[in-house]
Amino acid sequence: MTAPQGGESADTGTGTASDAQDSSAAHSTSDHIPARPLRDRLAAQRERVAALVRERSADDPTADDPLRGLYLSKDAVQHLLEKSGPEREDSAERVVVARSAPLGPADRLAGLAARMGLTDLEATILLLALAPDLDRDFEQLYGYLNNDVSRRRATVGLVLDVCGLPALDATARDLFHPTAPLSWLGLVRVEEPDAPFLGRTLRVPDRLAAHLIGNDTPDAALEGHVRALRPSPAGAGDSLTGKLAKPLAQPDPPVIYLRERREGDGLACAAAALTAAGRPALHLTTAAETRSRETGEQRDSGDEQSSGGTHTHSPVQQLLLEARLRGSAIVVYPLPEQPADLIRSLDAGDVPVILIGATPYDPQWCDPDPLVLDAPSSTSDTVGLWAAALGVESAQDLGFDLAGTVATYRLGGDRIRRAAHSALDLAALDDTDVTAEHLRLAARQQSASGLERHARRIMPAVGWNDLVLPKAPLEHLHELAQRARHRERVLGDWQLSAGGGRGRGVLAMFAGESGTGKTLSAEVIAADLGLDLYVVQLSSVVDKYVGETEKNLERIFSEADRTDAVLLFDEADAVFGKRSDVKDAHDRYANLESAYLLQRLESFSGIALLTTNLRANIDDAFTRRLDLVVDFPFPDEDQRLALWRHSLAHVPCADDIDPAPCARDFELAGGSIRSAVVTAAYAAATRGGSVTSDDLLVGARREYRKAGRLVVGDAGW
């Protein structure tokens, strides 16, 4: 880690000052500055500046020059000197009382010097550079000492004179070097690199001045890009959390990279470790990083100028200053795609930095390497995390089954906290206690993803009562839902995963004729799990160019891996078809596509359902990797009658309506029966009446003809 030249320049410079003719308490090398009100410190420095002004104005040959008003006249100087007596303190006190606000806490400057390891001399230089921003009288005094009424800030030469440091002393000049503590830490900026060294202006950032007088409002440049990280006791007992607390509390903490498996786990671990270390933290979002990257040229320019004696502050440097003023750590999450420049900018050596991401660490990011660790998963006590986030001591304090409600969601620790907060807001909006439905809705919002670019989103609005199926497939569907609900416990906690990098996904295939309820069953499964259903659009996946189909599928699988949703491949035989003998280049590339899918399904950790009308067309290798294959038989007469009645449940019907003849005479699947009822409903709505048996007969005949089958009464029958 890079560190400023704190010890050498400050101590040597102080030694030089002690040999100078003006020996002062400001040259003390004590490590702690006694706590004093900032007003008293300014008054003491003003007396020293006033003494220098008296010395220079006593024999000033231009004191009686009538043109000297362009800068300061002797009378003006005398007026300033007269204001430095006891009556000025009374006047200042009256002003302070009139404003009913003190200048700031007594120990702000002392605390800042102690945290940043400043000597008394460096703290004095900081105060001299800051003085014109706090007391306007210093502007005129500095203008006189600079021999230029327009130069109302402290300069390098002015500060050296006030502190009694020789201008030709190399160690004294090193106090203003870019690598010296004052410049390195961003406390004092040395401006005007083209000016002579002694005439260069010293400026203190406005944020630092505001901090010293008691204002803790963050820098406006960081607004919207940085937020305070909430303390979190979650995971406080975790072994990794305890290990991280110690280095984070050190004055020279390492850079830490937490790689998370599930989004939100890394942020929860970082918050818990920082809480245990007693450090507040600032959370740098991608937006702030992007802005800093956009101003990278400005930062590079500032680095070049710093060799000449100035320092251009980018948003990242302002963030470092804010962290130093607060004694905070910096948490970067999510990590940008190209984080090298950002990491190098943040690696200052004195501010704890925690990087969080899902990608493996790249040694090209920085040198030396950070402390690379895997963030612990929050799945071990998910129910406890949800209960704590909801503000209850136990899940039993809620009026519903919390464990069953949240079992299907794989949210990380921070995502759980945010989802719980949203659920509480939804409950407050409804003026009720939080319910399972509030939790499901909030959890789905946290799982919002980019899947809609490749798949059609369906918000399920059906339930198990909407399925009319034989006992066997219905039991298989219930089993599928239970597999999705308990996979983390069985495959993770009970260690029944096959290993070899295999994921914890749930894969199933629904096989049956068109209209037998395959897609509806997928929607019912998603509704039961409290998840959204995404139907993959084959038009956005299949590409005529070699390799593009695999890339599109990889985007879908990767997004589904990090999203709590049910992924549906409708008409899956178009993608998961059988491999064939290689007779030409087309067969070779088609087989490569199937091989990719076989490998990708092995590592998939989401929920994927495949539907097909032609099970024989699905490659046997795909079938072996499936958890369940559910066959949807064509409905018999009793099931068809149940389907007719279910479709008519919400339709106004005539008193004598009887769908039994249609169920007996027309062998239609559930989808066709629903279409026939829709046709009958439109006929009834057109004449303004109720659906009759004749309407049902017309609809059934139309569906029969659509299927290419003959109906009694048709020509040629």
Sign of CA pseudo-dihedral 561, 563, 567, 573: negative
Question: Tokens standing for 141?
Answer: 């005094």
Predicted pLDDT of residue 643 = 95
Q: Name beta bridge partners: 330.
A: 282, 353
Predicted pLDDT of residue 100 = 33
Domain covering 637-706 in this structure, CATH number? 1.10.8.60
556 to 205, 358, 553: CA distances (angstroms): 48, 17, 5
Task: Please state which of the four CATH numbers 3.60.20.10, 3.40.50.300, 3.90.79.10, 3.30.750.24 is assigned to the domain occupying 464-632.
Answer: 3.40.50.300
Tell me if 220-374 shares its fold with 637-706: no
Predicted pLDDT of residue 463 = 94
480 compared with 382, residue with greater pLDDT: 480
Residue range 654-679: mean pLDDT, rounded: 94
Q: With bands split at pLDDT 50, 70 and 90, how would you rate the model's confidence at 25?
A: very low
Predicted pLDDT of residue 642 = 95
pTM: 0.70
Of 167-171, 371-375, 622-626, 694-698, where does mean pLDDT reach its minimum? 622-626
Of 12-16, 229-233, 319-323, 634-638, where does mean pLDDT reach its minimum? 12-16
Please give, one letter per residue, the 3-state secondary structure of 515-579.
CCCHHHHHHHHHHHHCCEEEEECHHHCCCCCCCHHHHHHHHHHHHHHCCCEEEEECCHHHCCECC
Q: If you average pLDDT over every residue of the chain, what do you get?
A: 81
Predicted pLDDT of residue 482 = 94
Region of residue 168 (phi > 0: left; psi between -120 and 50: alpha; otherwise: beta): alpha
3 state DSSP class of 378: coil
Predicted pLDDT of residue 237 = 44
Rounded CA gap, 128 and 155, in Å?
9
Q: Which CATH architecture has domain 220-374?
A: 3-Layer(aba) Sandwich (3.40)
**Does the pLDDT of residue 363 top 50, yes or no?**
yes
**Does the pLDDT of residue 17 top 70, yes or no?**
no
Domain positions in the chain: 6-212, 220-374, 379-446, 464-632, 637-706
**H or E segment and range at residue 632:** strand 628-632
Helix axes 120-134, 108-116, angle to 10 degrees: 140
Q: What is the pLDDT of residues 588-610, one digit of tens each?
A: 666 777 788 888 888 888 999 99
Residue range 669-693: mean pLDDT, rounded: 95
Rounded CA gap, 426 and 403, in Å?
20
Q: What is the pLDDT of residues 391-407, one digit of tens each?
A: 888 888 888 999 889 98
Please give, one letter per residue, the 3-state secondary structure of 381-442.
HHHHHHHHHCCCCCHHHCCCCHHHHHCCCCCCHHHHHHHHHHHHHHHHHHCCCCCHHHHHHH
Contact 233, 190 (CB under 8 A): no
Return the percentage of the chain with pLDDT > 90, whole number: 40
532-536 and 455-458 beta bridge pairing? antiparallel
Q: What is the pLDDT of residues 214-245, one digit of tens each?
A: 888 888 888 878 888 888 764 444 678 888 88
Contact 414, 268 (CB under 8 A): yes
**Does the pLDDT of residue 716 top 60, yes or no?**
no
Predicted pLDDT of residue 72 = 56
Query: Per mean pLDDT, which of 310-319, 681-690, 701-710 is the most reliable?
Result: 681-690
Of 70-84, 243-257, 615-629, where does mean pLDDT reach its minimum? 70-84
189 to 298, 383, 445, 551, 582: CA distances (angstroms): 16, 52, 46, 50, 71
96 compared with 469, residue with greater pLDDT: 469
Contact 609, 568 (CB under 8 A): yes
User: Could you tell me which residues come within 8 angstroms of residue 316 by beta carbon, excluding any fewer than 6 positions away?
Assistant: 292, 299, 342, 345, 346
3 state DSSP class of 227: strand
Predicted pLDDT of residue 236 = 43
Q: Name beta bridge partners: 282.
A: 228, 330
Q: With bands split at pLDDT 50, 70 and 90, how would you rate the model's confidence at 81?
A: low
Predicted pLDDT of residue 474 = 95
Contact 311, 302 (CB under 8 A): yes
Q: Name beta bridge partners: 534.
A: 457, 567
3 state DSSP class of 626: coil
3 state DSSP class of 354: strand
455-458 and 506-512 beta bridge pairing? unpaired
68 compared with 126, residue with greater pLDDT: 126
117 compared with 31, residue with greater pLDDT: 117
Q: Name beta bridge partners: 629.
A: 509
**Does the pLDDT of residue 447 top 80, yes or no?**
no
Predicted pLDDT of residue 582 = 57
Is 100 exposed, middle or buried (CB count within 10 Å of its CB: 0-12, 13-18, 19+)?
exposed
607-612 and 506-512 beta bridge pairing? parallel
Predicted pLDDT of residue 175 = 95
Buried b or exposed e, range 379-414, using 16+ CB within 10 angstroms = beebbebbbbbbeeeebeebeeebeebbbbbbbbbb
Residues in the chain: 717
Q: How many CA atoms lie within 13 A of 608 on its CB side?
A: 28
Q: What is the pLDDT of residues 456-514, one digit of tens each?
A: 889 898 999 999 999 999 999 999 999 999 988 888 778 887 766 678 899 999 999 99
Residue range 52-68: mean pLDDT, rounded: 63
Predicted pLDDT of residue 384 = 84
Q: What is the pLDDT of residues 325-354, one digit of tens each?
A: 998 999 999 888 889 988 988 988 889 999
Rounded CA gap, 139 and 200, in Å?
16
Helix axes 74-82, 137-145, angle to 10 degrees: 130
**Does the pLDDT of residue 83 top 80, yes or no?**
no
**Does the pLDDT of residue 633 top 60, yes or no?**
yes
**Does the pLDDT of residue 309 top 60, yes or no?**
no
Other beta carbons less than 10 A from residue 515's beta carbon: 23
**Does the pLDDT of residue 156 top 50, yes or no?**
yes
Q: What is the pLDDT of residues 544-594, one digit of tens each?
A: 787 788 888 888 888 888 888 999 998 888 777 766 655 555 566 667 777
